[in-house]
Each structure stands twice: as C-alpha cells, then as structure tokens.
Amino acid sequence: MNMINPARPLRLSRSSLIVPLSNDRFLAKAHLRGADSITLDLEDGVALNAKGAARLKLPGVVPMVSRGGAWIKVRVNRQLDMLVQDLQAAVIPGIDSIGIAKVDSAGHVRLVSEYIGKLEYERGLPVGGITLTASLETPQALQRASEIAAADPRLVGIGLGSLDIAAACGFEASPETLLYPKQVIFYAAKAAGLDSGGYLGSIANYTDLEGMRKVIRASKKFGFRGGGAIHPNQVRILNEEYAPTPEEIEEARQIVAEADIEFGAGRGAFSFKGKMVDKPVVDAARGTLELAAAVSAREAQLLELLKNPL
C-alpha cells in the first residue's frame, strides 16, 4: 500500500470554525458563518458520555456543513481507545483533514497516519487523501517540535494548544507569554514546509473582539496566516485581518510587474520605493497575489451563498 503525496493546491485557511459535534444548533448554521474551514470537534468540546452519539452523526453532518464551500476537518481524541473509534468514524468521503490533539511525538503522528491509510485502503478512498494537522500542548512536545513536524508526508500543519501549554507550564495565556512557544512551533513548521496555524493569543476570550483584532494584526507581522475560532464573530475578524489589504495587493502587483522588466533585462535586484528588491521579495509578492485571488474567489462564493442560502 503506497501513500500518495500529491502537490497540494493553496487551501485558504484564514479561519477555522470549531464546532462540537454534539451541538446540533451550531452545526445547522456552521456553513453560513463564512469560515474557510470547519473543524468538527470530537475532543474537548464533546462530553465523554456524548462522544459515541457524536461519531454517529458524521456521515450526515459532513455534507450539511460543507454546503458553504468550507473544507472539513475532524478533531480527534488522544486516548487510544477513543482515538481508534474517532478515526473509524472520521475516515469517510468529504473529510479533508484530521486534527490530532495532544501530540507528543513523531511516532504518535506516524501511528495515526498508518491507521488512516489502512482505513482509506479498505474503504476505497485515495490513500493519503486525508491530511493531518497536529496540536502540540505540552513542554515535552514543544521540545520535539521539529521532529514532529517532519514525522509524516500526510502532515500539513502543526499548531500550539495555547490554553493547554499555559496550564501545563503554569503561566497565563497571553500574547507575551505565548510568543516564545508559538515561534518555536512556527519555525519548526516552516523548516518542514508545513503551515503553522494560530495567533499570538488564545481563542477563549471571544467577547473581546477589538483585542483579538490587535493580536491578529501583530501575529500577521510574525508570519501567522490563520487561526481557529469558537464564535462566528471571531471568523469575521480572522477573515478580514488575514486577507491582504488593498494596499498590499497593489504594491505586490507593482513589484511583480517591475520584476518582470528588471529580471528580463538581466538584473537580479532593483530599487522599489527606496528599498532593494530581489527574488525572495518578488516571491513573497507573488504569494500575496495568489492569496488575494483565493480570497476573492472565496468571497464571491460566500456572496452567492447569502443570495441563495442552502
């Protein structure tokens, strides 16, 4: 059984709305919230005595929540017996990714990936088609971040469990205290060619929207490009702040246009608005334009959904 690892296209991930699979009211409206992805939670958001019923909902819930064009992820439990049951329920058509909670080693990731591959094969799904993300939530996992990030071809992103690491280490979860652990995971992800979701704060305080906006703007400067949400109002802010601004888009267009001229003339660097520009800057500008195009397509999709709600 060979796992495919195709070149994956840009998957817009400014916002991921986390919805407990036990909450029917939230599930019914999730597709209308505008999130780029929806995380169906089987882990901490679902009480122990409700997990079995929540798993049984997945085949019906997936087509319902994906109607708005969001890609779908399932967050699974750490405990082995629950993890096996979660994966058996989650490896079905329509699931794009599975989020592993409380990852503590590379072997943990590989074990989950191997079992997903077995289920994909047995169920006639493309082997390797379901991606993985990993949440690191302990100081031990933080020390192994680079090893975990390089664990498996199925892994596309790693992130920090902000409240979990704060509780494990005994500090308050704030932008200041989370800066170091977030950056450790960010650089481990980048070194492995992965995404690093999140921002320099916690999603728990969903009522302080202006405070969240400030945190996301600061996070964007550090390279973060998306994060989770537990409330629809957080989705709106994530989508707005992690989209390129009109000024950023226009500057990127100018840089790319100038680069075409300068590079065509054999010059590897040139001056733009008083600053030196070379290939890495041009590549970043092209990335901005690619992101802007994806955002524009997503906004058009959401506008159509509002006109013709499903």
pLDDT at 81: 96
Q: Is 247 annotated as a binding residue?
A: no
User: For 247, which DSSP code?
Assistant: H
Contact predicate 163/204, CB 8 Å: yes
Tell me, what's the pLDDT at 10? 64
pLDDT at 119: 99
CATH class of 15-241: alpha beta
- pLDDT score for 198: 85
Other Cβ atoms within 10 Å of 70 Cβ, number: 25
Scored b (16 or more CB within 10 A) or e, 26-59 reads bbeebbbbbbbbbbbbbbbbbeeeebeebbebbe
Q: Pinpoint the residues of the chain covered by CATH 3.20.20.60.
A: 15-241
DSSP string, 176-206: HHHHHHHHHHHHHHHHTT-EE-B-SS-SS-T
Q: Which two tokens stand for residue 298?
A: 């997503």
β strands within 11-130, DSSP E: 15-20, 37-41, 71-76, 97-103
Regions of the chain where pLDDT drops below 70: 1-10, 310
Q: Which conformational region is residue 202 in: left (phi greater than 0), alpha (psi within -120 to 50 degrees), or beta?
A: beta
212: nearest Cα among 11, 13, 12, 15: 15
Query: Which pLDDT belongs to residue 201?
Result: 83
* Closest residue by Cα to residue 262 from 253, 252, 270: 270
pLDDT given for residue 9 in this prediction: 55
Question: How many residues are recorded in the chain?
Answer: 310
Output the pLDDT for position 5. 45
Q: What is the pLDDT of residue 178?
A: 93
Q: Is 43 annotated as a binding residue?
A: no
pLDDT digits (tens, 9 = 90+) for 143-180: 999 999 999 999 999 999 999 999 999 999 998 999 99
Q: Tell me the whole-structure pTM to 2 decimals.
A: 0.91
Q: Give the pLDDT of residue 11.
A: 84
Residue 258 marked as a ligand binder: no
